Amino acid sequence: MNVPHRGFWPVLGVLRFLLAMWVLFDHTYNFGPAERAIPVLTRSGLMAVMCFFVISGFSIHHSIATRPAGYFRRRLLRIFPLNALAVLIGWFGWSVLGLSGGYGTPAVPPSAWQFIGCIFLLEAFFPIMIGFLYPAWSLSIEAVYYLLAPLFRKLEGRPHIPALMIVSGLLFVAWPLLRNEYVAGRNSYWLTGIVMLWCWLAGWVAYANAGNRRYLAWLGIAGLASIATQARFFDVTNVSSAAVNGVAWIGTLMLVFYRIGDVGGRVAAVLDYLGEISFPLYILHYPVLFVVSSSLFKAHPNLNYGITQVAISLVAAILAYHLVDRPLRQPKATLAQAARAWRGRFAGRRGELSEAAPRLGTTS
pLDDT of residue 356: 37
Regions of the chain short of the pLDDT cut 70: 1, 186-187, 331-364
- State how far the alpha carbon of 209 is from the alpha carbons of 23, 140, 168, 249, 311, in Å: 29, 27, 20, 18, 39
pLDDT of residue 185: 82
Tell me the C-alpha distance between 272 and 259, whole Å.
Answer: 16
What pTM value is reported for the model?
0.90
pLDDT of residue 179: 85
pLDDT of residue 2: 79
Sequence-distant (≥ 6) Cβ neighbours of residue 347 within 8 angstroms: none
HSE of 280, CA atoms in CB hemisphere, 13 A: 24
pLDDT of residue 157: 87
| DSSP notation for 101-146 | SSTT--SSPPPHHHHHHHHTTGGGTSS---GGGTTHHHHHHHHHHH
107 and 162 Cβ atoms separated by less than 8 Å = no
Overall size of the chain counted in residues: 364
Cβ burial 299-336 (10 Å sphere, 16+ → b, else e): eeeeebbbebbbebbbebbeebbebbbbbbeeeeeeee
| DSSP notation for 158-186 | STHHHHHHHHHHHHHHTHHHH-SS-TT-S
Of 124, 243, 234, nearest to 189 by C-alpha is: 124
Burial of 353 (0-12, 13-18, 19+ CB in 10 A): exposed
| DSSP notation for 298-317 | HH-GGG--HHHHHHHHHHHH
Tell me the C-alpha distance between 308 and 106, whole Å.
Answer: 22
304 and 36 Cβ atoms separated by less than 8 Å = yes
Of 225, 188, 197, nearest to 53 by C-alpha is: 197
For residue range 209-232, list pLDDT tens digits in order.
999 999 999 999 999 999 999 999
Region at 262 (left for phi over 0; alpha for psi -120 to 50; beta for the rest)? beta
